[in-house]
Structure 1
């Protein structure tokens, strides 16, 4: 039985791969994609999603524009990590489909009202849209089946400041609103939080891209190698493989520059996997809050595991997984999806 999801994204190379993974997963039904500013502007995010859905033959999925700025602080974007358009070196055709007439916040509210207890919320960008949707529908936490958030850093160094993770740091005020609002839920429905502690254990390697291309029946053999000239473009016959490879190449070049190796951290795809297969990880429950006033620590997620604040736990933090199990599943699913949808060109 398929699991219905709303994806809220700031696409983003890894958001794009998360979408591919879910489209390729028999358990998932993506009912809407809502777009927020983060990795790139919200307009670029929306265009990327429309183009990706057309590429994959899934233009029936609603794409709605959301907030173009954080709640309080100025917008910070990450073109250095994700490319000027957000999808690395990939150059997707201009989409022919249009954005939804509804705002992202309306999409969140309308869908959970119409399908109470049925829909999983997956947020792989800043939490701005969800925080704003709570103003429209305060009962949203109770109406969702579950929330999965890619965000935070707990017992791990940050990737935006020394202590903060990107999605939370872009809009910490929104993140605090969401964590506070979702504190009303019983233990079996607590949000899953997928932070850097676990996502930086998972790295997509060049040989994984090669395997995706092989499964797709794409030619010639796909090669990503740090010895190749920077910005080398794929010549894959399969158009999904070609665009995926070009997007990932930019991402791994950046990570290699930063000393993380020639691989792509699977932040958003792993969060997507936990949305439909929570058994892929082990968890530790905690009360999660967000620092807003620290001079050096604004945007830091803080987890109270021992109940020192005297508040109920409001999140299940993913702590460990078997990276290769997930990566092999992603490669298998995306490769076969590309074979079926990515007509050679």
Structure 2
């Protein structure tokens, strides 16, 4: 998993930790929601919270390929974790660069590994530069990013991850042009990830599934920044993260909800989500200032270029949240 953790990245990582069938080979850290060093600290702390100190964490790039880094403290908080205050992890990052780690793992286990990227595609682009055979070496690739004939969440036309490093995104999609359909990246873009809309009742259900001694109420009428008192450490941290995210979405007139984009991408990578997808040729705009990071999909072959992606076209939000509540509830019980 390569992430820029981030509240929804955090939920995705915790979800993967809840899945006994998932082997987490490594978690690599890309700058985006916060800088790369803070991303890595968040990843280390989350893995420790989930009892997974066996999973290596590494840092790769510290800035996008060609443009200055932009972070988003208004969306995820100064440290990327909303109101959650995770204890500092008791270990440090791997000395190996994230890109080296990606390449070494793929070469050592050809055809076995899934790459899940919920961050700007900077590290993945650098890994492809270092090992152009990655499209053949990886079993599959799942990417959260882009908005196709759908309003952006960063600019009128651009999604966050694509906007932070459009040059990297363009390189990644170009590298997959002409690959067999089963090797094309599965792209979870805004038109389906914004359907994965978390609400207060999901937090309450999670606490109940975790066996919490009292209801977990994260409600719009409560004071801004109120902290959870749940007796489960996992529920308490997730609740404090999500309250911040609910408040952010409300501030931007989207309701007291949270779009947990990256959890959906993680469930696709883990094989636990139903989805439908369409092949397309993706173009990422990396030059026009007002359109930076805009993604366009040619579904009909009008450009005469081979497909380079499979874009998710449908999903089942109710099933996704039933899975999330059940899985995280079970993990919280095991940890407590």
Query: Within 2, Cα distance between the matches of 1:57 and 1:153?
Result: 35
How far did 1:222 drift?
Answer: 0.6
Please show how residues 136-155 of structure 1 align to structure 2 within 5 Å: 136-155=130-149
1:159 aligns with 2:153: yes
Partner residue, 1:59: 53
Structure 2 equivalent of residue 129 of structure 1: 123
- Uncovered stretches (5+) of structure 1, i.e. residues with no partner: 1-6
Q: Does residue 208 of structure 2 align to residue 219 of structure 1?
A: no
Query: Post-superposition, which runs of at least 4 consecutive aligned residues in structure 1 deviate over 6 A?
Result: none
SS at match of 1:95: coil
Corresponding residue SS for 1:302: strand
1:27 maps to which residue? Answer: 21
Post-superposition offset of 1:20:
1.0
Query: CA 1:278–1:55 in structure 2 vs 1: closer, same or farther (change >3 Å)?
Result: closer
Is 1:299 equivalent to 2:293 in the alignment?
yes
Query: CA offsets, 1:43-86, max 9 Å, x none?
Result: 11000000011111100000001111000110000110001100
Per the TM alignment, residue 260 of structure 1 is displaced from its structure 2 partner at its CA by: 1.2
Contact kept? 2:199, 2:258, Cα under 8 Å: yes
Q: Which of 298, 310, 314 is 2:308 aligned to?
A: 314
The SS at the match of 1:313 is: coil
Cα 1:177–1:244 change in 2 (3 A) is same
Q: 2:177 aligns with which of 169, 173, 183?
A: 183
Task: Look up the SS of the partner of 1:28 in the other structure.
Answer: coil
Distance 1:187 1:112, change over 3 A: same
Q: C-alpha distance in 2, partners of 1:201/1:317? A: 15
Q: How high is the TM-score relative to the length of structure 2?
A: 0.98
Cα displacement (A) at 1:296: 1.9
Q: Does 1:42 align with 2:18?
A: no
Correspondence 1:11-26 to 2 at 5 A = 11-26=5-20
1:262 paired residue number: 256
Give the deviation of 1:278 after TM superposition.
7.2
Runs of at least 5 residues in structure 2 that lack an aligned partner in the other structure:
none
Secondary structure at the aligned position of 1:38 is classed as coil
